[in-house]
Chains A and B, each alone.
Chain A
Amino acid sequence: MINRILIANRGEIACRIIRACNEMSIETVAVYSDVDSDSPHVLMADQAVEIGPANPSESYLNFDKIVDAALKTNADAIHPGYGFLSENGAFAKYVKESGLVFIGPDATTIKSMGDKAESKQMMADAGVPTIPGSDGELTGNITSLARDIGYPLMVKAAAGGGGKGMRVVRNEDELDSSIEAAKNEARNSFGNDTLILEKFLDNPRHIEVQILGDQNGNIVHLYERECSIQRRHQKIIEESPSPALTNKFRNKMGEAAVKAAKAANYYNAGTVEFLYQDGEFYFLEMNTRLQVEHGVTEMVCGIDIVKWQIRIAKGESLTFSQKDIKQRGHSIECRIYAEDPSRGFLPTPGVIRKMILPEGPGVRNDVGVSEAQEITSSYDPLLAKLVVWDADRNSAIQRMDLALSNFIILGLITNQPFLRDIMKNDSFQKASFSTNFIDEHFKDWDFPDIDPKVLALALLGSKTSQIHVSNTTESYSPWSNNRGWRQGI
């Protein structure tokens, strides 16, 4: 039985999980670092345990402190959320060995999916398409191997990372010199000049499939999410369904994801990420946890993924099969970040001095911050996720732009105006984009010219904020009732 869950996370995802627990009448335990003592997730939970200083390795990443907090509060299970310890196989194992339930897949699954080479091999063996390339060290006739893979291709250091020892090869004339250069770079950077060849996708979309599997062998997919709008290889806008796929292709991708999950003996919620280009898709990686953007899938499928994570962890079987799951309408998510899109998306810590969230039909706010809260540089700059649903994509874009325009957040720079510009972009509206979208359309983005009314308001109305950072013990929270139940919402 699971009667009490410790949430080993913070911010919006901890709040999201606490809400699911409240709805299931499961008690919640929050953990927090000293700078988070008044954060919404702490105030929402039934109890909260301080686990150390802001530095994650001494708090949110510390196995012992988290498991001790769970044992001390008699929690039955730990939900890791995303990030932090959510994809740490050793932590999952440690939780289980401590007599607690880990809400996620088995530790061995987490471990094998976390290894890029091992997971790629496992998927290839299971018949899931992977990016074509050389297997292992380059030997024999490299020119003919390169011809088999096809141009453009990528020469990569096997031990590589961070873009070092990587070369894009456009045609056969460039092959020898690129291999030589990559070899030198790899030797200098990693002390190992082993290279591999891989097909280079210059214009891919990032499309992923949500998986749900129980511990009794049933696995279904909840269709796809389109996540191509990224900056610095991190998603900022996601939607479901993907406007790039036909129904036939959508089903094919879903079936491949189920195949992948079966190969990995998967249970609980997970996501199979693919790159998609020119009508072909390739396995990228599997995320063995709840995804930031799970909300858009919940909106179109009508299935609460977090509640199902908990039911699956309890040993319950799925009560629906693949044919029962339908996508209905269209959902879009925008991630509201504390960052400056006019300065290379630099993080912008600060104090939230005013926040008014948009409302209306089909508008959902997943928020982990509140007014008067200081956003420190210790954690991820994600402030809130704004999710909308409407009958079709165009209506959803319109609804999102209106919701963004009613998202009032004062006190720090956010990407709110940037997200609005994306909603108005012609290529975005026509769904004609790849993961290069932001570089192609918004490389030199700047804030809009200021209307004289804005200047007048700045000079007129600017009374000094009543919020003082040192005074955060004040009870400002809308979450302050003790069980987290809120009538009439």
Chain B
Amino acid sequence: MENLTLGSKSYMSKLRRSGSDFTLDVGEENYKGTFSRKSNGSIQISISDKSSIGFSEKSGNEIYVYLNGVNYVIKRESGALKDNVLDEESGDTILSPITGKLLDKKLEIGDSVSKNDVVVILEAMKMEHRLKAPRDGKLLKLTPAGIGDQIKEGELMFELEEE
């Protein structure tokens, strides 16, 4: 089983293939289909006799799919990565939502923060992004990056001390 996510939705999926046939499990559902590769790199795929032609490529943990007029970026997540996401959602650890440049750090480690205080300001593609404290607390960790340094998406920006 692999966890494929798109935006806020996730799909536990598994694919078994034999020749040009495949079976696909998505959660409790089960599908049977066929596929064939075309010389221009596209793939013709059909499930229950409905056929479409699409493209698919991957890089790292991302898969890019074009099918039926929509381009998708699907993330492939292992169990470990999923824990990280849960950590982020708990609200104590704030990761960078973008790849960009560190514009400013407003506080230092040990400082007290109130909910919605701006802690870090990032810039990407000419836009500012302000990362705010999700609750009142004390700053436990802060990115060691200097002003003007590059920041990657998913990099830890700051963490609040446990309540």
Contacts and interface: CB of A to CB of B under 8 A. Distances in A.
A452 B4 CA distance: 11
A349 B125 contact: yes
Interface stretch (A42-50, A152-160, A270-278, A456-464): A456-464
What band does the interface of chain B fall in when counting residues whose beta carbon is under 8 Å from A?
35 or more
A460 B67 contact: no
B9 A446 contact: yes
A19 to B, nearest CB: 25
Nearest to B56: A461
Interface in A427-469: 446-465
A480 interface: no
B71 A408 contact: yes
B81 interface: no
A410 B35 contact: no
A452 B56 contact: no
A381 B55 contact: no
Contact of A353 (B2, B13, B14, B59): B59
A351 to B, nearest CB: 7
B3 to A, nearest CB: 11
Nearest to A447: B7
A233 B48 CA distance: 45
B121 interface: no
B57 A462 contact: yes
Given A408-B71, A450-B9, A460 B56 contact: yes
Interface string A54-73: 00000000000000000000
A446 B7 contact: yes
Nearest to A411: B64
Say what secondary structure dominates the interface of chain B.
strand
Nearest to B98: A346
Nearest to B148: A55
A473 B57 CA distance: 22
Interface in B38-56: 41, 43, 45-47, 50, 52, 54-56
B31 A456 contact: yes
A416 interface: yes
For the side of the interface on A, what is the size category?
A: 35 or more
Contacts of A420: 69-70
Residue among A347, A411, A449, A454 with max Cβ neighbours from chain B (10 Å): A454
B113 interface: no
A460 B13 CA distance: 12
Contacts of B101: 377
A245 interface: no
Contact of B127 (A347, A406, A412): A347
A461 B14 CA distance: 14
B140 interface: no
A410 B124 contact: no
B59 A351 contact: yes
A125 B35 CA distance: 70
A323 to B, nearest CB: 41
B124 A409 contact: no
Contact of A453 (B11, B47, B124, B126): B47
A342 B7 contact: yes
Counting chain A CB atoms within 10 Å of each CB, the highest count among B33, B52, B70, B98 belongs to B70
A379 to B, nearest CB: 6
A119 interface: no
A338 B127 CA distance: 13
Given A377-B125, A417-B71, A460-B22, A453 B45 contact: yes
Given A342-B7, A460-B43, A381 B125 contact: yes
A414 interface: yes
Interface string A401-427: 000111111111110110010000000
A343 interface: yes
B101 to A, nearest CB: 7
Nearest to B30: A452
A377 B98 contact: yes
B58 to A, nearest CB: 4
Contact of A457 (B6, B67, B100): B67
Contact of B124 (A342, A354, A377, A463): A377
A330 to B, nearest CB: 22
A405 to B, nearest CB: 3
Interface string A337-355: 0100011001111010110
Interface of B: 2, 4, 6-9, 11, 13-15, 17, 22, 24, 26, 29, 31, 33, 35, 37, 41, 43, 45-47, 50, 52, 54-59, 63-74, 97-101, 123-127, 129
Given A409-B66, A410-B57, A456-B35, 6 more contacts: A380-B125, A407-B71, A413-B73, A414-B71, A451-B68, A462-B57
16 contacts: A338-B125, A346-B97, A346-B98, A354-B41, A354-B55, A379-B125, A409-B71, A410-B57, A410-B64, A411-B57, A454-B67, A455-B15, A456-B22, A456-B33, A457-B67, A462-B57
Q: A-B pairs with the 9 shortest C-beta distances?
A: A405-B69, A461-B56, A410-B64, A462-B58, A347-B125, A377-B124, A459-B15, A377-B100, A342-B7
